[in-house]
Amino acid sequence: MKLDSKSRKVGLYEALKTRILTLEMRPGEDLDETALSEEFSLSRTPLREVFRQLAGEGYVDLRENRGARVSEMSHTTLRDFFLTAPMIYGAVLRLAAKNARPDQIEELKAAQAHFRDVLRAGTGAERALANNRFHDITGDMADNVYLTPSFQRLLIDHARISVTFYRPTDNSMAQNVSEAADQHDQIIDAIEAGNENRAAELAEDHWALSRDQIEVFVMPHGLDIPLGDLPRKTPA
């Protein structure tokens, strides 16, 4: 079936997003204008507009006279991530518990059901996307224009970090992941009950678990070495 240019444009937009989130397009990789314009049957003009938009949203970096690259994951990324995520994520879940509409809660439950599905049968990338979708909905629920931009940025790298550190063979990691799914259920309960404090508390736990998951990867053999200056608490 043939799509109109408008659909092809959003198709390109969505495709690039998922490719970047799943690391199909690696950080630092540059986007080939001619190749993509052929693949999506679009001229370079709308293509470049999409690039700019993605740049604004943090998916790609734009360099003068050098085209677009998938945004980098530098060595400071992980540090900044775990420094910032607890705060932003806590605020988002708190507001989600406060403001969530019934239809959004249904949407969240559906996303969680799908997350559990791919947890059993899916690939690491599918898992990361499903998780991304879950948290994305909580961002909608929070409904705060000033929080959303940072939250979206965090979600991008959250997905990419997840894919990076996903090892389905590792037993402790499998356990970790199923615990994350349980936390999702608890988060849904807290939001549905409108329990802001509980939601904020769960945010803290959820990110602590994420951090542990990274630690498992960094030290897979159970060596009990403290992990440098990664923060244990949110800055006030």
Partner DNA sequence: AAAATTTTATTTGTATACAAATTGTATTTT
Partner DNA sequence: AAAATACAATTTGTATACAAATAAAATTTT
Residues 61, 97 contacting (CB under 8 angstroms): no
Closer of 17 and 94 to a second copy (Cβ): 94
Stretch 195-224 residues interacting with a second copy (CB under 8 A): 196-197, 200
Q: Which amino acid is at 96?
A: A
The answer to the question of residue 41 lying near DNA (CB under 7 A) is yes
Stretch 58-117 residues interacting with a second copy (CB under 8 A): 58, 64, 77, 80-81, 83-85, 87-88, 90-91, 94-95
Residue closest to 163 by CA, chosen among 204, 122, 209: 122
Residues 22, 122 contacting (CB under 8 angstroms): no
The answer to the question of residue 176 lying near a second copy (CB under 8 A) is no
One of 4, 34, 35, 45 touching a second copy (CB under 8 A) = 45
Closer of 73 and 177 to a second copy (Cβ): 73
Residue closest to 17 by CA, chosen among 146, 159, 113: 159
Name the binder of 122 from DNA, a second copy, none, CB < 5-8 A by kind.
Answer: none
The answer to the question of residue 55 lying near a second copy (CB under 8 A) is yes
Distance CA 105, CA 189 (A): 10
Name the binder of 169 from DNA, a second copy, none, CB < 5-8 A by kind.
Answer: none
Closer of 58 and 122 to a second copy (Cβ): 58
Distance CA 21, CA 25 (A): 8
Name the binder of 66 from DNA, a second copy, none, CB < 5-8 A by kind.
Answer: DNA
CA distances from residue 14 to 125, 134, 139 in whole angstroms, order as listed: 15, 17, 18
Name the binder of 32 from a second copy, DNA, none, CB < 5-8 A by kind.
Answer: DNA
CA distances from residue 82 to 12, 59, 87, 112, 118 in whole angstroms, order as listed: 31, 19, 9, 23, 25
Residues 23, 160 contacting (CB under 8 angstroms): yes
Closer of 89 and 115 to a second copy (Cβ): 89
Only one of the segments 60-68, 109-117, 136-144, 158-166 lies at the binding site for DNA (rule: CB under 7 A); that segment is: 60-68
Residues in contact with DNA by CB under 7 A are: 4-6, 9, 30, 32-34, 41-46, 48-49, 62, 64-67
